[in-house]
Structure 1
Amino acid sequence: MTHRDPHATGDVTDGGGQPPSHRHLYGLPFPSRTSPLATTAAEANGRWASAVGLVRADRASWLADCAPHLAAARMYPDAQSPQLALVTAYLTWLFVLDDRLDHDPADGTAGSRSLTDLAALLGDPPSTAAPEPLLGALADLRRRTRALAPQTLSTRLDAHLRQTFDAFATEAQHRREGTPPTESQYIDLRRRTSCAWIFADLAELAHDTETLPLLHTSTEYHAQVACAADIAGWDNDLVSLARETARDENDNLVSVLARRHGWTPERAGEEVARRIGQRVREYPAAERRTLAHIAASGLRGPERTRHEDVIVSFRDVLAGVLAWNHGDTLRFSVPRTTTGPDHPGGTPDADPRP
């Protein structure tokens, strides 16, 4: 596996030979690449999402608009076909869950039940038997994960899914109680809702490997993942601001800063962009500290190399998220005010919600 030095400069291109739309965005010092298997992943994902009931027939266009296959292809460009298909399915499932929570009634009870049911499912042995599509799809993902990955990695991924569900539940509680988070609360919560630790686990799955606890339990590793989480999560807050404002949502760093400081959304957005740029500048040093930790661990030869390769591949994950946010998906478009045969409302996996 070959990756460019994070301090390298010069023109970069995506898989099609064209400069990516996020080129030099926030000063990110490494390029986004795209897997040549993106189309294959999209076809396999469409079949899977339909088979498990995650995307209804009348919402097939949702997959094309959301483009989870492009997110996976950019984030994990070196993955082989089975791994890329599974990663694409995970991202699709996470987007459907996000839509389910976004369309939850104001009291938040339906979303809370979904999160409780999902967390309970993670405590059961992998199975395809579940009462509704969101649960059934997760059960199928867990079964497929255990067929491709070591049980210890699968268990770690389950734990990070559960942590993410808990963070989503906290967000729902804030909305339900009308008590928006403070700035420090939001930043901590956003790191967990960004799914960054899930994405880190999927990097190991995508590269058909598993890191030792001496790496993934280290302070250096978690600081690097947290830095990536801030960059990706806060950028997501910027690109989704118009959509969330239209839905009267406040789980966004722009909204949090505007409320705290009495700023306009424009001024708060400028501050968020500045902070993203700062974290981008800090990321190479965070990566170097993790690589230095591996070097000092005593690992040698191929064992050391595969751990280093996973850490350096996080560049692809981060650059891929930004490229997808800014150029590949319609997910952050302001929602339409009307529905009809071509633009049905609700979520892709269930009947439209009130």
Structure 2
Amino acid sequence: MIAPTAMYSTTIPNSKPSEFILPGLFSDCHYPLRLNPHCYPVSRASEQWLLNGASLAEPKITKFMGLHAGELTAACYPDADAFHLRVCSDFMNWLFNMDDWLDEFDVDGTWGMRDCCISAFRDPINFQTEKLAAKMCKSYFSRFTQTGGPGCTERFIHTMDLFFIAVVKQADDRAKGHIRDLESYITVRRDTSGCKPCFALIEYAAQIDLPDEVMSHPVIMAMEEATNDVVTWSNDIFSYNVEQSRRDGMHNMIEVLMDEQGLDLQSAVDYIGQLCKDSVQHFEDNRTILPSWGEELDRQVAIYIDGLQNWIIATLHWSFDSNRYFGKDGHAVKRNRTVKLLPKRPLH
């Protein structure tokens, strides 16, 4: 883990804060934002697929339509053709909904969902299930396997398993009211983020299949980790307001820092901002020491690294374009960086 360089005060003010200021995440991140030309038709078709497959009802339909996961997907995979973009978009819509569903699951329910979905990935054609979420896995993954290489396919399934296992730990923490220390939180969060299977989709979307000797290289792994950390830790900042209003902030680095280090809200946000800045620097430092595997593999590695970079910049911009974190105020918040705290929901 990269230790932040700045020092922060740990005095907790007597009065509760009413707002906090976002760190200047864009000032540290100058990557170009690109949008796939197939974005809008694919996004709309994928949304319809999710609505049909998940049987959502209001108010969840309206909430889902404000997510704009298709636009995020189109910025993460800007060079994919329409077929591959659609599979990625279906997965992303499914993953966001799965994330919301699992918030309401206990440990046993999460294990059950994991068994069902992993079985669907292992044999998307023949596996039979009545679970809507797993039927949707069969739908997008049967299309994935038509062109996905063996290495990339295995990486996707393995990292999805890591996601479910980590979400089980999160459900257990939630049931016990347990807030993790920073180190163990980061370990679990790198898997609950769902970033790792999305990185396998970089290979899938580009129709490449990198060998294990490349994917297990420390420099590649460090760049993946730095990408995951920027995406995930900035997401903890963006999602905190909604989570604290639901009284559900335990699986969030802000809450972890306030609990473990006694930081006030703004100091915790600033601390995470520094960690994000350090992670972008870590990404760039590793880019300069990438080894060579020969001309053709180097070309494919460059595509993969470009895909990681797309993930960093796409999620930063999308977080303000989506209604998920800031409602209709995303563009104003992006401009003035002030987040006004929502009132906490009444206890039942």
TM bracket (short chain): 0.7 to 0.9
Tell whether the 8 Å contact from 1:54 to 1:133 is kept in structure 2 after alignment.
Answer: yes
Displacement after TM superposition at 1:127 (Å): 4.2
C-alpha distance 23-276 of structure 1, shift in aligned 2 (>3 A): closer
The equivalent residue for 1:328 is 321
Q: CA deviation at 1:128?
A: 6.8
1:321 alignment partner AA: T
2:269 corresponds to? 269
1:39 aligned partner: 40
Partner of 2:197: 198
- 2:49 counterpart letter in structure 1: W
CA offset at residue 238 of structure 1?
Answer: 0.1
Q: CA RMSD in A?
A: 2.4
Q: Which runs of 5+ in 1 are unaligned?
A: 1-21, 335-353
Q: Give secondary structure in 2 for the equivalent of 1:197.
A: helix
Percent identity for Structure 1 against Structure 2? 19
- Contact 2:67-2:323 within 8 A present in 1 as well: yes
Q: Are the structure 2 counterparts of residues 139 and 177 from structure 1 closer, same or farther at C-alpha, using a change threshold of 3 Å?
A: same
Report the TM-score, using the length of structure 1 for normalisation.
Answer: 0.80
Residue aligned with 2:201, SS: helix
Q: Give yes or no for contact 1:130–1:139 (8 Å, CA) kept in 2.
A: no
- For 2:66 and 2:148, the matched residues in 1 are separated by 30
- How far did residue 121 of structure 1 move? 3.9
Distance in 2 between residues matched to 1:26 and 1:240, nearest whole Å = 20
Q: Do the aligned residues in 1 keep the contact of 2:110 with 2:164 (CA within 8 Å)? A: no
Deviations 1:276-316 (A, max 9, x none): 11212222112233xx22x1x3x22x343122222223211
- What are the superposed Cα offsets for residues 12-62 of structure 1, whole Å, 9 maximum, x if unpaired? xxxxxxxxxx996151131221122111111220232234x2252644433
TM-score when normalising by structure 2: 0.81
Look up the equivalent residue of 1:305 and give its one-letter code.
R
Q: Is residue 287 of structure 2 the alignment partner of residue 287 of structure 1?
A: yes
Residue number in structure 2 paired with 1:143:
142
Residue 66 of structure 1 is matched in structure 2 by 67
Q: How many residues align?
A: 305
Q: Which amino acid aligns with 2:230?
A: I
The whole-number CA distance in structure 2 between the counterparts of 1:57 and 1:252 is: 28
Change (3 A) 1:108 1:102: same
Cα distance in 2 for residues equivalent to 1:114 and 1:306? 34
> 1:237, 1:173 → 2: CA distance?
19
Unpaired stretches in structure 2, ≥5 consecutive residues: 1-22, 328-347
Q: Deviations over 1:243-264 (max 9, x none)?
A: 1111222100000000011122
Q: Secondary structure at the match of 1:66?
A: coil
